């Protein structure tokens, strides 16, 4: 997987490149908007990590030029501006996700993975499967080993989001944004309790747990090792 990091602050850029390389990505760096646009139009990247405020060409302008040139490489915008308004502007300009600085590296990694997977899940999918857990998007029902599981509407959406990102870490902030549409982090561990309730329903009466807590990062739903396809 090849990534392009467009960031003018050298220290942040080096830190991002190092972290991403260690996570198994190949990383190219650009330090301003023009260079970023040049690299992005030439190279074939799987995703772009883009700082919003850049010298010579603003991040949003660069993204606009890129999209106008018909290049739809998924882009994650990094910005110090965190209001909902700024976020909406960034997403309208062609960004696929928006992360407010400062951020935890694990958060960036989780979002980047979600972004890279986005194309993989086809829109025609009506059923999501993880191990023996099955979620039907049409009938809005959940079954495990053919045994129906009662879930609340919000729990259904929570499970859906986790299952769409099966095998990958999903952070609490991502859950708040995508399941509750809350763009701030409450001081109370509200998400943890929701996840543990969901876990009660899908894992309690089964011997192999699917929903795991990843310390310091978030949650991950994945099939147990023996039956995993890979």
Partner 1 sequence: MIAEKLVSPTLGSWTAPQRVFGNAQRLLRTHAFRLAALYFLVFAVSVLGVLLFVYWTSADFVERQTEATLDAEITGLAEQYAQRGLSGLVQIVAARSAGDRGDGMLYLVTDPDGGPLAGNIAAWPAGVPARTGRLSFTTAARVRDRVETHPAQGASFIIPGNYRLLVGRDISDAAAFRNRVKTTLLWAGLVALGVGLLGGTAMSRNLLRRVEQVNRTSERVMAGNLSDRVPLDGTSDEFDQLAANLNRMLDQIERLMTAMREVTDDVAHDLKTPLSRLRVRLELALLGPADGSGQTEAIRSAIAEADRLLATFNALLSIAELESGARREESEALDLSEVARSAAELYEPVAEEKGFVLSLAAEPGVKVRGSRHLLSQALANLLDNALKYAGGGEIQIRVEHAESGAALEVTDRGQGIAEADRETVFDRFVRLERSRSTPGNGLGLSLVRAVMRRHRGTVELADNRPGLRVRLQFPELVT
Q: What is the C-alpha separation between 59 and 150, in angstroms, rounded?
A: 45
Residue 102: cis peptide before it, omega within 30 degrees of 0: yes
> Helices 59-68 and 33-42: crossing angle, nearest 10°?
30
Tell me how far, at minimum, the Cβ of 185 lies from partner 1, in Å: 7
Q: How far is the CB of 153 from partner 1 (least distance, A)?
A: 9
Cβ–Cβ < 8 Å for 96, 75: yes
CA gap 57, 74 in Å, rounded? 19
Question: Which is nearer to partner 1, 129 or 154 (by Cβ)?
Answer: 154
| Shortest Cβ 86–partner 1 spacing (Å) | 8
- Asked if residue 11 binds partner 1 (CB under 8 A), the reply is no
Residues 151-190 that bind partner 1 (CB under 8 A): 154, 180, 182-190
Site string for partner 1, 80-109 (x = CB under 8 A): --xxxx--x-------------x-x-----
Q: Does residue number 206 form part of the binding site for partner 1 (CB under 8 A)?
A: no
Residue 193 binds partner 1, judged by CB under 8 A: yes
Among residues 59, 43, 53, 54, which one has the least CA distance to residue 94? 59
> Which H helix or E strand runs over 193?
helix 190-203
Shortest reach from residue 84's CB to partner 1, in Å: 5
Footprint on this chain of partner 1 (rule: CB under 8 A): 82-85, 88, 102, 104, 154, 180, 182-190, 192-194, 197, 216
């Amino acid at each position: 997987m090849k990534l392009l990091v467009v960031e003018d602050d050298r220290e942040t850029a080096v830190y991002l490149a190092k972290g991403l390389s260690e996570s198994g990505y190949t990383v190219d760096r650009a330090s301003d908007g023009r260079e970023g646009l040049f690299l992005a139009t030439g190279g074939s990247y799987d995703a772009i990590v883009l700082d919003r405020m850049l010298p010579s060409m603003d991040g949003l302008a660069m993204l606009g030029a890129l999209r106008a040139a018909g290049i739809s490489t998924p882009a994650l915008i990094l910005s110090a501006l965190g209001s909902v308004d700024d976020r909406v502007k960034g997403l309208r300009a062609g960004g696929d996700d928006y992360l407010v600085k400062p951020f935890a590296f694990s958060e960036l990694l989780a979002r980047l993975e979600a972004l890279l997977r986005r194309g993989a899940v086809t829109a025609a999918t009506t059923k999501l499967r993880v191990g023996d857990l099955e979620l039907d998007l049409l009938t809005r029902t959940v079954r495990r080993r053919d045994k129906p599981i009662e879930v609340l509407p919000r729990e259904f959406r929570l499970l859906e989001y986790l299952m769409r990102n099966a095998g990958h870490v999903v952070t609490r902030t991502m859950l708040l944004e995508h399941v509750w549409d809350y763009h701030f982090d409450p001081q109370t561990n509200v998400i943890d309790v929701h996840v543990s309730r969901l876990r009660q329903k899908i894992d309690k009466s089964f011997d192999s747990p699917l929903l795991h807590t990843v310390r310091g990062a978030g949650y991950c739903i994945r099939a147990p090792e023996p039956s995993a396809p890979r």
